[in-house]
Structure 1
Amino acid sequence: MSSTYNNSESTALLSSGSSCSRRSRLASCSRGVWAVTAIATLATLAVIAMAWAMLATNDLNGGGGDKGDRRLNSTSVGRFIHITDLHVDPNYKDGATAYSQCHRVPKTSDHSDDSSLTGRFGRPNAKCDSPVALINTTSAYLRRQWSQKVDFVAWTGDSGRHDGDAEFPRTLDEIIEQNAIAAQSLRHAFGSHIPIVPNVGNNDVSPHNELPGPGHKRARRTFRQLAHAWGGLVPDDQLATFHYGGYFARDLADYPQGGGGLTALSVNTMYWYRANAKVGGCKAKDSPGLAQLAWIRWQIRRARERGRDLVILGHVAPNQDNYRPSCYHGYMRTVAQIVPPPGPHSPPIIHAQLFGHSNVDAWAFVGPDADWASPTNNTASDSRLWWERQVDEEEGRFGELIHGVWSEEEQSMRSETTVPDERDWATMEDDSPPVRPAVPGDFVETLLREYERVIMQTPRHPRLGVTTISPSVIPKLLPAFRVFHYLRHTDSAWRHLPPGTLLDYDVYTANLYSHNKKAPPVDGFYQRLYRFSDVYGINDLSVDSYVRWARRLLTSKSMRKRFRALTFLDM
């Protein structure tokens, strides 16, 4: 079957485990930015239900994967979960109309077609957020099936509901409350022994898409209240950094052999996001976006010194449509590790870049394809651009941030951090053209063109990365999440790869079309839709493997058809 999708925003997953009764009135949906606008007809539901029935015997559900299962079940392989875009809505009502954003039950005399009403666990293809029943059941499922099987959890933002119902205008207090529900649900699912790394989404701030720069009273209030709502998920030695800019670092897992391990950088994509009119681009020396790039580069240097590799997680994925131009190019150059390695230390590897926001199941290349500004003043021994040299300096503004805000060693010597005074960030230099209304496009074709461009321009892909976009648990398509398999230490099966390399992933989905009719046992609420290696014949998720797979994808019509179907979880 096929899907029509306008990629303008995302929604996602999460679990909840405790009380969900709420004093406040909550509403759902984004302000006209949701991609799917048509309500599914009864015929469409029947077709999708038939397709799901076919999955039971389909090779996508693990068929042909015995060899892969044996390799991934090795003790050298670890796992982690990526979940994103909760959008929990305690105002959701079973039996409500979709056009009321699932908030109001119709009068019997006005509505006789039950097929267009909401179900207990959510309504796919409708402008509705996640009901509490979906959150609770997801939490219970994760607790039973995954709490003893994963090393950490990446949670990439947007736990606040959308603000699309005029009868229930959203407030920051409600957003904070919904983030607390999400954090409690994850704690219930995974306990306190598994690191959970949260992230700020564009619906975790108020108003939607608006976040002033560091020092502004609204930014300070938002970051402090989010950190409190998340209940200790931001490490104590990173609180000053998070209170300043909404980003932080956390060690995830240690490699059992040879030292080192994985460290997460939870970045605040709101300071690069085009839709955030409260900040400009990354050209100005005091821009929040440039400061965050400086922080990432500093964390790369620290990771090199500590012998650790990195996982970057954020909400809005980096591309030319989402990020301001200077921030996009700055991010590409930074994550492609164009940083001269000092001394004998080898550069750390960024093994994963995990994002949400777009609801779909997708990935994209990221790498330096442009010099953001001239002159570069490069020399034979220093290939950095002007801004890279500036942010790497220990003197001046960024040196003050390193020693006054970002360094946990410095933080241990004082109880409160001084941040820059509030300023009118809206007057900052803005390198973006005026924002135009989104034009519906073919999301998959856009991805394919980008794959082709990268492969043609970078035949040997010397400095490429891959960003992965995980599907959502919010029932915009179907609730879903990913389980990644990664290499904890080398063995005979993986001797050619360094520790930390992503090896494979599984996508799990919940069939709401049947669950709303008859709730299954909790253990069966989510089923594996497919394993990446089984479908595409890929050996691991290294950049080299992605490049080879993209070349095959561009030349195979049947593979592109399957790729399109899986992108929208509709096979």
Structure 2
Amino acid sequence: MLRRIWTLSNLFLLCDLVKAVPVEQIPLQDSQLQTSRQQSRLHGRFLHISDLHPDPHFKYHSSVAEEEACHRGRGPAGYYGAETTSCDSPFSLINETFRWLDENIKDSVDFVLWTGDSARHDNDELLPRNDAEIKELNEYCVNMFLQVFGDKGILTTPVVPTWGNNDVLPHNIFYPGPNRWTRAFLDIWQPFIPESQRHGFEYGGWFWTEVIPDRLAVLSINSMYFAENNAAVDGCADRTEPGYAQFEWLRIQLALLRKRGMKAIIMGHQAPARTESKSSWDETCWQKYTLWLHQYRDIVVGTVWGHMNIDHFILQDFRDVTIDSISGRTLGDRAAMDDKLTTQGLTDYLTELRELWHDLPSAPKNLGTASKKKKDKFYKEIGGHYGERYSLSLVSPSLVPNYYPTLRIVEYNISGLDSNSAQEKDLGDTPSPYLNSAISEKSFKIPNSPSKSAPPGPAYSPQTFTWLKYAQYYANLTISNNDFTTSGWKEGKHKNEEPASNPQPNPKKLTFEVEYDTADDKVYSMKDLTILSHLKLAETIGQYKSKTGVPEELDGNKRGKKKKKKKHKKKGKRKKHINRVWHAFVRRAFVGAIDDAQLEDQFGGLSLFEE
């Protein structure tokens, strides 16, 4: 069993701990894993889970104040955690989540994507983290996955992990490998890393694995080498940088998958967020990422990320790629995005996303019956009939209850997978017709784009592996903690309330329920998760009327201030919510844990309910 470093005050949480199989007892025979995967029936679904942040020092009914971090004092920290605060996850939340997965999910998914941050934050000066604790917390999470998605010590459902910025010490700082962390996690993640990938993983922390043999691979990216706030590295332009090496590795692997006729999912922790004022990645890395996704748009099915704790998506515009930016000669004036975004910071970020989407090309009404001239103009603006100018990054909210704990189940098309395994293909790669001719191979090797005869990839056109929908699950801790009679969180939800007089927890059984499902959601109205569907959604979210070119609530430099609503003389006439999609988007970004009144305070009333 794992070594215990936790205090006696947390013993009631440890009573929930599942008896896990030690990591060192898990065999690593690739053939066994491949055999078990081939024998299992595909369901066309996978699980995405992110940012578990288990905290061994979490105390029930402790203070949720930022400096006390649910570690001491007296306050409203609940049995399963303190929703809408900066506190991390108690073991009870992690254990009950895996119990729920075991009972409800494990037999209906084909693989699991686990996008990092599996240790607590370094947010308590009185309880600093150390190497041993970080390793043990990651081992604890590994064992939970093995307990649910394995059988008698053998992993039966593929689980693919990736680095989080809090999975190392100091957090955010990741030196070029091999280093002490790549060596440590080579052992910790032994059940998940194919034998053939172990050398490369030790070098840089990246690897790939076939989750559906000969058909679909997942490439686990070490986003730490791309992060703007990693002071140990310097972007992706210089050949001596690990970020440069990782893109070369990615280029080679995607080219090999193309040759084999396979498809790929790319996953990482820190999402490639990039707005006018802030970015999470070094610009040279973002530029290469956008270029790589465009050149391998026939191969990449989709990408998934975590870290930001809010539910949203990001569109990358290929026309933003330039040789100067890739080479680091013109980096712009974007500031690094804070590691821990404040509520106001997230408000600004989401509002800037909306401003970007306001300028997206708008399809003519009744596109199917529109004139050829209008159609051609629209398709030219979006880079082709399938929106090839853009690529997509899906960002899932977290399990740690910064808002409410979440899980995501993505459904994908498995038609055609009954046929024989993929065969080697020579697709006759050609330079991209959209690529800036100023970009030359003197700086780096440019990936070849798909052959002109190649069909659009699964991210663009419905086919095998196309993502069809996702169901966003959440656990309402206000109900499950069963501590207070009030509901409706503010900052530090029960901040001004006293805990129940009975010091013993009396929680309800933790249950995850569907917050929304894109398949039957009448607000988003998405027929699938292709680029075109997201372009349409983003364009709708970006709709607003303004003479100054920014949302009405920001006119006159009054960011965040709420304008007075006009009084309607006619009684009984309800105000029409013209942009209810934007309203739903920001509400879902915070997993429904913030009520409409607070959202209006944050975003301005007119941004949610335009007249």
TM-score, normalised relative to structure 2:
0.65
Displacement, 1:25? 6.8
Displacement, 1:78? 0.3
Partner of 1:489: 415
Q: Percent identity?
A: 31
Give the AA of the match of 2:357.
Y
Counterparts of residues 502-521 of structure 1 (less than 5 Å): 502-517=467-482, 519-521=507-509
Counterparts of residues 319-330 of structure 1 (less than 5 Å): 319-320=273-274, 321-330=279-288
TM-superposition CA deviations, 1:223-242 (whole Å, max 9, x none): 12112122421111111111
SS of structure 1 residue aligned to 2:271: coil
Partner of 1:475: 401
Contact 2:48 2:114 in 1 (8 A): yes
Counterpart among 234, 251, 264 of residue 310 in structure 1: 264
Partner of 1:534: 520
Partner of 1:463: 389
The reply on whether 1:23 has 2:5 as its aligned counterpart is: yes
The reply on whether 1:285 has 2:285 as its aligned counterpart is: no
- Gap change, CA 1:349 and 1:26, over 3 Å in 2: farther
Displacement, 1:437? 8.1
TM-superposition CA deviations, 1:442-476 (whole Å, max 9, x none): 23212222333454795343232110001111011
Counterpart among 464, 468, 474 of residue 499 in structure 1: 464
Note the residue ranges of structure 1 that are not aligned, 5 or more in a row: 1-18, 28-74, 107-115, 255-259, 339-346, 376-384, 388-427
TM-superposition CA deviations, 1:198-249 (whole Å, max 9, x none): 000100111011011124xxxx210121121224211111111110001001
Partner of 2:170: 207
How far apart, CA to CA, are the structure 2 residues paired with 1:227 and 1:20?
17
Contact 1:26 1:89 in 2 (8 A): no
How far apart, CA to CA, are the structure 1 residues paired with 2:349 and 2:223?
21
Contact 1:211 1:278 in 2 (8 A): yes
Counterparts of residues 294-443 of structure 1 (less than 5 Å): 294-320=248-274, 321-337=279-295, 348-374=298-324, 438=338, 440=345, 441-443=347-349
The structure with the largest alpha-carbon Rg is 2
- Gap change, CA 1:76 and 1:22, over 3 Å in 2: closer
Displacement, 1:546? 1.4
How far apart, CA to CA, are the structure 2 residues paired with 1:543 and 1:234?
31
How far apart, CA to CA, are the structure 2 residues paired with 1:475 and 1:200?
20
Displacement, 1:567? 1.2
Partner of 2:580: 558
Counterparts of residues 120-199 of structure 1 (less than 5 Å): 120-191=79-150, 192-199=155-162
How far apart, CA to CA, are the structure 2 residues paired with 1:437 and 1:502?
29
Partner of 1:416: none
How far apart, CA to CA, are the structure 1 residues paired with 2:139 and 2:397?
22
Displacement, 1:521? 3.8
Q: Number of paired residues?
A: 426
Displacement, 1:488? 1.2
- Gap change, CA 1:152 and 1:304, over 3 Å in 2: same
Give the AA of the match of 1:449.
E
How far apart, CA to CA, are the structure 1 residues paired with 2:7 and 2:290?
41
Contact 2:294 2:388 in 1 (8 A): no
The reply on whether 1:251 has 2:210 as its aligned counterpart is: yes
Deviates more, 1:130-139 or 1:536-545: 536-545
Counterpart among 250, 262, 271 of residue 216 in structure 2: 262
Displacement, 1:551? 2.5
Give the AA of the match of 1:459.
I
How far apart, CA to CA, are the structure 2 residues paired with 1:328 and 1:247?
17
Partner of 1:233: 192
Partner of 1:549: 537
Contact 1:274 1:323 in 2 (8 A): yes
How far apart, CA to CA, are the structure 2 residues paired with 1:434 and 1:468?
22
Deviates more, 1:238-247 or 1:463-472: 463-472
Give the AA of the match of 1:534.
D
Partner of 2:551: none
Contact 1:26 1:90 in 2 (8 A): no
- Gap change, CA 1:269 and 1:455, over 3 Å in 2: farther
Displacement, 1:434? 9.3
Partner of 1:80: 46
TM-superposition CA deviations, 1:47-103 (whole Å, max 9, x none): xxxxxxxxxxxxxxxxxxxxxxxxxxxx98600000000110011011111121111
SS of structure 2 residue aligned to 1:98: coil
SS of structure 2 residue aligned to 1:533: coil
Give the AA of the match of 1:300.
L
How far apart, CA to CA, are the structure 1 residues paired with 2:236 and 2:332?
10
TM-score, normalised relative to structure 1:
0.70
Displacement, 1:185? 0.9
How far apart, CA to CA, are the structure 1 residues paired with 2:517 and 2:324?
45
Partner of 2:70: 102
- Gap change, CA 1:436 and 1:302, over 3 Å in 2: closer
CA RMSD of aligned residues (A): 2.9
Displacement, 1:24? 5.3
Displacement, 1:159? 0.4
Contact 1:119 1:516 in 2 (8 A): yes
Contact 2:6 2:57 in 1 (8 A): no
Contact 2:355 2:542 in 1 (8 A): no
How far apart, CA to CA, are the structure 2 residues paired with 1:350 and 1:119?
41
Contact 1:85 1:472 in 2 (8 A): yes
TM-superposition CA deviations, 1:138-160 (whole Å, max 9, x none): 01100111111000000000001
TM-superposition CA deviations, 1:177-209 (whole Å, max 9, x none): 111111111111222110000000100111011
How far apart, CA to CA, are the structure 1 residues paired with 2:462 and 2:175?
42
Displacement, 1:487? 0.6
Contact 1:82 1:481 in 2 (8 A): yes
How far apart, CA to CA, are the structure 1 residues paired with 2:270 and 2:540?
28
How far apart, CA to CA, are the structure 2 residues paired with 1:226 and 1:356?
19
Contact 1:156 1:315 in 2 (8 A): yes
Displacement, 1:508? 0.6
Displacement, 1:550? 2.2
SS of structure 2 residue aligned to 1:134: helix
- Gap change, CA 1:486 and 1:205, over 3 Å in 2: same
How far apart, CA to CA, are the structure 2 residues paired with 1:271 and 1:78?
32
How far apart, CA to CA, are the structure 1 residues paired with 2:307 and 2:236?
22
- Gap change, CA 1:163 and 1:147, over 3 Å in 2: same
How far apart, CA to CA, are the structure 2 residues paired with 1:543 and 1:140?
35
How far apart, CA to CA, are the structure 1 residues paired with 2:73 and 2:145?
30
TM-superposition CA deviations, 1:510-551 (whole Å, max 9, x none): 1100111153445xx111111013222111101122112223
TM-superposition CA deviations, 1:391-446 (whole Å, max 9, x none): xxxxxxxxxxxxxxxxxxxxxxxxxxxxxxxxxxxxx9996879668583423212
Contact 1:284 1:429 in 2 (8 A): no
Partner of 2:486: none
Query: Whose relative contact order is higher, 1 or 2, with alpha carbons under 8 Å and at least 6 apart?
Result: 1
How far apart, CA to CA, are the structure 1 residues paired with 2:166 and 2:70?
18
How far apart, CA to CA, are the structure 2 residues paired with 1:26 and 1:232?
31
